[in-house]
């Protein structure tokens, strides 16, 4: 052997010796969490802020420094590092912080063979995991008791959902699907303090970890879980907020085109033709819209307003604490768009669009027909006759208008709004409304409420418990 080769051989040996005696850092299993940072990646580049050890499934170890490039081919079960083969899964650990995608992480990395690529997992203690989560969920400038309440909620969520991604080999993903986790880059001294002060604290109900959803702003009162995701939980009922918060989402307005609503519903498999009206059919005691009926030229569809909101877009219709009105020329039936009355008698609506010469209904006539049917303008025999002879609809419509004067008041159902070019949703708050309202918690903390009192308010009947 040449001198250089002999030196490198010795170096390699000493590295291997060092790595064998270095233990894998791990805490008690229940306090650890496996967070998926990448799933089924074609390739991965990982590193560490110092030298680190790679250990494979056979206990084979190597100590390395700098970037480790791994790429997956079909049925990859081994990877080559420094010309040596290592069997997946791999564990990467060291004294420094592990790095991936320019972000630093505490704890270890694990690399597994996923169903179609490589999966990168960050394994670390739950308290350290929370340090990479909390700032993504709440503003560190907010009052401490609100941040502590959020820490308890995030910890409870993590512990309750351990194994949510077990099919992929980890507990939670690092995305909004679970909880956004950004590792060391997201750590903040204020959040760290709130985590330390609530160490191990969780919310339980009847001795089990509670379900702890939260949202930005409930708009005055929270939502009952049954109206959003279904199911009944005694601690996820609608509760009114005792103080007014200063949320930037306190009121909002969304103008949604009728065609956008039609398209969004069609994507959900709901085909009711041209949308002609939307009405809230059920409210909760605090004014939240629980259920809506969408009427179209081809039928109507009843759905929870939460599903409706999700179908249209949760960033457009920010909450279900909304009322509906309509705009556009053909939307003039809506009580919301009534002009001020000149005298006490209700002016008749403009019916100039009725074309008595044609036998078929034009679109405005069809919309009016839908409303008249709903208002009970026709008896059962007439309805059956129209069903069997659609060509008679026009005659029935004209007849109905002549028989009974139509006022603006009687035409729409109280909260159904006829379609113009768009529907206007006027609402309060942002989010699904279940569990803790973050802006509400902030307002309560500013009033001097403790983290426990805030959590008792939003999750009544739960217990603040030390889990470990
Ligand atoms: Zn997830």
Residue 225 CA, ligand 1 centroid: distance in Å: 21
Q: What is the pLDDT of residue 416?
A: 65
Around ion ligand 1, residues with a beta carbon closer than 5 Å are 173, 177-178
Residue 120 CA, ligand 1 centroid: distance in Å: 14
Whether the Cβ atoms of residue 104 and residue 98 lie closer than 8 Å to each other: yes
Is 93 exposed, middle or buried, given 0-12, 13-18 or 19+ CB atoms closer than 10 A? Answer: buried
pLDDT tens per residue across span 89-140: 999 999 999 999 999 999 999 999 988 899 999 999 999 999 999 999 999 9
3-state secondary structure of 118: strand
Q: Which regions of the chain are under pLDDT 50?
A: 1-29, 329-347, 407-414
Residue 284 CA, ligand 1 centroid: distance in Å: 31
Angle (nearest 5°) at CA 185 between 182 and 190:
100
Q: What is the pLDDT of residue 381?
A: 78
Q: Which of 315, 320, 248, 245 is nearest to 290 (CA)?
A: 320
Residue 154 CA, ligand 1 centroid: distance in Å: 14
Residue 171 CA, ligand 1 centroid: distance in Å: 8
Residue 164 CA, ligand 1 centroid: distance in Å: 7
Q: What is the pLDDT of residue 419?
A: 63
In angstroms, the CA 219 to CA 285 distance is 14
Residue 173 CA, ligand 1 centroid: distance in Å: 4
Residue 372 CA, ligand 1 centroid: distance in Å: 48
Report cis status (omega within 30 of 0) of the bond before 230: no
Return the exposure string of 325-340: e unless at least 16 CB atoms fall within 10 Å of the residue's CB, then b. Answer: bbbbebbbbbebbeee
Count of other CB atoms within 10 angstroms of residue 387: 10
Residue 76 CA, ligand 1 centroid: distance in Å: 25
In angstroms, the CA 252 to CA 309 distance is 14
Residue 122 CA, ligand 1 centroid: distance in Å: 14
- Count each helix (H run) and each strand (E run) in the chain, helices first: 13, 25
Q: What is the pLDDT of residue 23?
A: 32
Residue 163 CA, ligand 1 centroid: distance in Å: 10
Residue 178 CA, ligand 1 centroid: distance in Å: 4
Give the pair of three-digit tokens for residue 336.
């919301």
Residue 179 CA, ligand 1 centroid: distance in Å: 7
3-state secondary structure of 269: coil
Residue 177 CA, ligand 1 centroid: distance in Å: 4
Phi-psi region of 206 (alpha: psi -120 to 50; beta: other; left: phi over 0): left
Residue 432 CA, ligand 1 centroid: distance in Å: 18
Whether the Cβ atoms of residue 89 and residue 113 lie closer than 8 Å to each other: yes
In angstroms, the CA 189 to CA 264 distance is 43
Residue 175 CA, ligand 1 centroid: distance in Å: 6
In angstroms, the CA 281 to CA 417 distance is 12
In angstroms, the CA 191 to CA 137 distance is 10
Could you write out the DSSP letters of every residue in 283-303? E-TTS-EEEEEEEETTEEEEE
Residue 431 CA, ligand 1 centroid: distance in Å: 19
3-state secondary structure of 308: helix
Token pair 């604290």: residue: 201
Report cis status (omega within 30 of 0) of the bond before 98: no
Residue 369 CA, ligand 1 centroid: distance in Å: 47
Give the pair of three-digit tokens for residue 31.
């306090």
Residue 31 CA, ligand 1 centroid: distance in Å: 19
Residue 111 CA, ligand 1 centroid: distance in Å: 18
Residue 185 CA, ligand 1 centroid: distance in Å: 20
Residue 199 CA, ligand 1 centroid: distance in Å: 24
- Which stretch of DSSP H or E encloses residue 90? strand 90-94
Report which DSSP code applies to 391. G
DSSP bridge pairs for 255: 424
In angstroms, the CA 39 to CA 283 distance is 42
Q: What is the CA radius of gyration of the chain?
A: 31
Residue 310 CA, ligand 1 centroid: distance in Å: 18
Token pair 């279900």: residue: 320
Residue 166 CA, ligand 1 centroid: distance in Å: 10
């Amino acid at each position: 052997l040449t001198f250089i080769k002999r030196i490198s051989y010795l170096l390699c040996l000493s590295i291997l010796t060092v790595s064998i005696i270095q233990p894998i850092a791990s805490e008690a299993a229940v306090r650890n969490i496996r967070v998926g940072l990448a799933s089924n990646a074609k390739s991965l580049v990982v590193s560490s802020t110092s030298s680190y050890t790679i250990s494979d499934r056979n206990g084979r170890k190597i100590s390395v420094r700098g970037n480790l490039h791994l790429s997956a081919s079909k049925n990859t079960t081994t990877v080559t590092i420094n010309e040596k083969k290592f069997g997946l899964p791999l564990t990467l650990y060291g004294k420094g912080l592990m790095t991936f995608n320019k972000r630093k992480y505490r704890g270890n990395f694990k690399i597994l063979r996923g169903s179609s690529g490589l999966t990168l997992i960050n394994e670390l203690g739950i308290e350290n995991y929370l340090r990479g989560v909390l700032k993504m969920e709440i503003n560190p400038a907010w009052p401490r008791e609100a941040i502590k309440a959020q820490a308890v909620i995030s910890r409870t969520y993590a512990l309750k959902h351990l194994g949510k991604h077990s099919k992929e080999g980890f507990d939670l993903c690092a995305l909004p699907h679970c909880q956004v986790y950004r590792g060391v880059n997201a750590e903040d001294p204020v959040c760290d303090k709130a985590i330390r002060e609530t160490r191990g604290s969780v919310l339980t109900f009847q001795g089990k970890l509670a379900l702890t959803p939260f949202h930005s702003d409930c708009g005055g009162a929270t939502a009952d879980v049954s109206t959003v995701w279904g199911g009944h939980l005694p601690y996820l009922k609608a509760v009114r907020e005792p103080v007014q918060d200063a949320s930037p989402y306190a009121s909002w307005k969304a103008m949604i085109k009728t065609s956008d609503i039609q398209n969004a519903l069609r994507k959900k498999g709901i085909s009711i033709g041209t949308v002609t009206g939307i009405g809230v059919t059920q409210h909760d005691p605090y004014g939240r819209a629980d259920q809506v009926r969408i009427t179209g030229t081809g039928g109507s569809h009843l759905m929870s307003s939460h599903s409706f909101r999700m179908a249209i877009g949760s960033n457009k219709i920010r909450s279900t604490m909304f009322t509906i009105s309509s705009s556009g020329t053909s939307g003039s039936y809506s009580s919301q768009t009534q002009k001020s009355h000149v005298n006490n008698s209700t002016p008749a609506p403009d019916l100039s669009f009725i074309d008595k010469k044609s036998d078929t209904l034009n679109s405005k006539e069809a919309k009016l027909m839908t409303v008249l049917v709903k208002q009970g303008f026709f008896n059962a025999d007439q309805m059956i006759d129209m069903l069997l002879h659609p060509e008679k609809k026009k005659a029935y419509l004209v007849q109905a208008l002549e028989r009974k004067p139509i006022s603006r008041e009687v035409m729409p159902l109280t909260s159904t709004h006829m379609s113009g070019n768009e529907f206007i949703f006027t609402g309060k708050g942002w989010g699904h409304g279940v569990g803790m309202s973050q802006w509400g918690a902030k307002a309560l903390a500013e009033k001097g409420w403790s983290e426990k009192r805030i959590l008792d308010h939003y999750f009544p009947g739960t217990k603040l418990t030390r889990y470990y």
